[in-house]
Every structure is written in structure tokens, then in C-alpha cells.
Amino acid sequence: MSGIILILVVSFFAFLAINTPVAVAIACASLLAIFAHGGDACYTVAQRMANGVNSFPLLAIPFFVFSGYLMGRGGLARRLIDFAALFAGRLPGGLSYVNTVTCMLFGSISGSAAAAVSSIGGFMIPEMNKKGYDRDFNVAVTVTSATTGLLIPPSNAMIVYSVAAGSVSIAAMFMAGILPGILVGLCILIVSGVISIAKGYGRRTVAAEGPADVTPAARPSGWKVCWQAVPSLLLVVLIIGGILAGVFSATEAAAVAVAYSFILSVVIYREIKWRELPEICLQTGITTAVVMLLIGASSSMSWIMTMANIPQTVSNALMGLSKNPYVILLTINMMLLVVGTFMDMTPAILIFTPILLPVVQGLGMTEVQFGIVLIANLCIGLCTPPVGSCLFIGCGVGKTSIAKVTVKALPFFLAMLAALLLITYVPWFSLAIPRLCHLIGK
């Protein structure tokens, strides 16, 4: 079996080194490993890929992707910016707070960090540039804040984890992510405030515009701004409330999200024309196809690793490293942080969940808490080079370089790491709301 592991690992990194797409690299590495083992490689990989995507909960992914595209182009982002600016825009460095809070709101509603970076960043980064904020700081705030939407429900990453773990409720994962997502957002807000005050961001506009550092869009009456934002904010209440009340499942909630966002974007706000819908459907299909290919390919690799007893080997190695559970959990976090720097979130969840889940269960950590810890780790990877997708999008939107943004983002990385340690070592953050919902359900 050691030969299979060697072929699997070496071939996978070799394909990545020549810029092979991750899904193709995973599938080809699996193919070579099974071929070396003497099995029918093509048939086995095809069968495992088909079985990997043959899951009812995965139907939620295309629906949430579709609703995310509708929200991004349907005017929801601008209304959420106005809403956040109403409460945070008048503080010193207020635009950094507005940026963070809006990314949290939009990321949670759309379920996509990339959509939050492009939609919110497309407006907020140029606005902050005009107000005298440092361009690279603006991009760093946007990129790191956008990842909180993967912890605050609804989140496609949680759906993928539930499928990978096998017996974890998607509703429980949704509930578990609320407090950790808010915690990460608060840590980013604190860093934004400290840097803004130290650098004097937001102060230079006070003399010219009065005692407020706010966007022009935030100046209408507060009631009007809140009224316009209510329909967008109600989406999260509708989805989470419906799941908790047992009205519909997580997959059905995704379909409800599509219907609701369609009505808002096309019928009420009318910012999406009917002729634009085919293009949005096409983009949804492309994104869904990429995700499903990753899931299918990762399923084949997970099957090979299970056959080669890799989970048991890793578990024994980690348990032999130390008897202290805090040290083992710290080691796992460091491992996942490294993984997140070069691997996308979806394949990382599918590959490392069956490997590490038995280890943390042996330490007394629940499946739900580990799912949040896993996603929180990989969220940091979305902001870091060389494969951080949010970092690339943010630099493109902000018209700056990855090297400059990475330097400015270091304090935010430290804040996210501090939140990660709290999530890892204080189970209350992940388990308080699921337990409360369970008690209410009784």
C-alpha cells in the first residue's frame, strides 16, 4: 500500500506543478494509483466520480450558486452597503467598517466569498480610494471580510462537508457557523479600526463634508435605507427559519432562495432584465460543473486513500506525536493552513475530512465543531498566495499587486488566526446555537 500512497501523492503534486487544473490533477493521480494497484483504473475512477456526485444534498449547490449570481447583479449589494453605512459610516475609518459588515452580510446571503469580493469590492474599493484610504489596505479588508460568508449560513462549503462527513446535518452546520462567522468578522473589524485610527483614515474628509465619513449613497433618510435593505436581509431569516421550523430541507431552502432572489432582482428591483437570465444560467451551469467535477474527482481520491489506510496512518502518526490534545489540534490547524495555501476549498474538504475526522473524534471534538474549524482554516487559505482565489479577485478589482496586498493583509491574517484558535479550543462558539435549537425543538 505504501507504493500506492507514493504514486498518488507524487503524481498529484507533479500535475499541480505543471499547472494542471486541480480536478484533473486529482482524477489523473487517482487513475495512476489504481492502475499501479492492478485494478480497472478507468472503470473504478468513473464509478467513484459518479457515486460522489450522486447525492441529494448536493442539489443545493447549483441553486445557491444561481441565487448568488442573481443577488450580485440584482442590486442587493448596493442596498446592503447603504444599510451598513447607516450604522458604521460616521465613525473614524467608517468605510472600512462598512466594507467589512457589508461583506459579511452579502457573503452570508449569497454563500460565496468570491461574489462578495467582486460585488462589494467593485463599489467599496474605489470609494475608499477616493476618501484617502490606502488602496492595498482597502483590498485586504475586502478579501478577508468576504470569507466570513462561508461560515455564516447558507454556505456551499458546509453542504460539501456534510456530504464528505456522511452523517452531519446541514441544518446543524448552518447553525454552528453563525457565531464563528461573527467572531471572525469582529476580529477583522477590530484590526480595521486600529489601523484606520493609527493611519488617520477617514479624517481628511471631515472638514470638507462634515462630521461623517460616509458614502454618498448612505445619506438618504435612515428609514428609507433600512426599508430598502429589509427584503435582502429577510432572505437569511427565511432560509434559516424555514430549516429550523422543519418547513423545508436545506436543499429545498436553496430552491426557495432562488425564487426569492429572482423576485427581488427581476420583478421588484428590476435591475436584471429578462434577456440577461440566459447568461446568468450559463454562468451558474459553468460554476456548478466545476464544483461537481471537483467533488467527483475528490471522491475517487478519498476512496483510494481509504483503501490504502491513509486515515488510520495519519491518525496513528498524530496520536503518537503527543498525548496533549491541544498540541494535536494545533498541529492539525497548521496542516490545514498549509493545505489552504495551495488547494481550493472544495477538494480540500473532500480529501481531508475522512483523514482528520477520526483523529479529532478521538480527541472528543464533535463532527459539527470540526467542520467549522476545517472551513475556518480553509477560509484563510482563500486570502493567501499562491492559490487564494479571493486574493486574486480582490487584486483584480482593486488594480494592485498580490505582493502589496499580502503585506497589508498580515494584521488581518493574525486576527483570523486568533479567531481560529478560539473556535478550535472553545467549543461553545460552534455548539451553542445548535444545542439551543435542539433544546427548543424538544
pLDDT digits (tens, 9 = 90+) for 151-168: 988 888 898 899 888 878
How much is the pLDDT for 91? 67
342 pLDDT tier (thresholds 50, 70, 90): confident
The count of structural domains within the chain is: 1
Predicted model pTM: 0.83
Q: Round to whole Å and give the CA distance between 322 and 316.
A: 11
| Residue 409 neighbours by CB under 8 Å, 6+ apart | 140, 143, 144, 383, 391
Q: Across residues 406-419, what is the average pLDDT?
A: 94
Alpha-carbon torsion angle 433, 436, 438, 439, nearest 10: 180
For residue 204, CA distances in Å to 84, 93, 130, 134, 424 come to: 21, 10, 11, 13, 41
- Average pLDDT (404-417) is 93
Domain that holds residue 68: 3-441
Q: What angle do CA 393, 136, 219 make, to 5 degrees?
A: 90
DSSP run (H or E) holding 181: helix 178-199
Run of H or E including 283: helix 277-307
Which has the higher per-residue pLDDT, 333 or 99?
Answer: 333
Residues 170-218: pLDDT tens digits?
888 989 999 999 999 999 999 998 998 888 886 644 333 433 344 444 4
Q: What average pLDDT does range 320-336 have in this prediction?
A: 89
Percent of the chain with pLDDT over 70: 92
| Residues 6+ away with beta carbon under 8 Å from 335 | none
CA distance 334 to 45: 31
**Alpha-carbon span 360 to 51, nearest angstrom:** 26
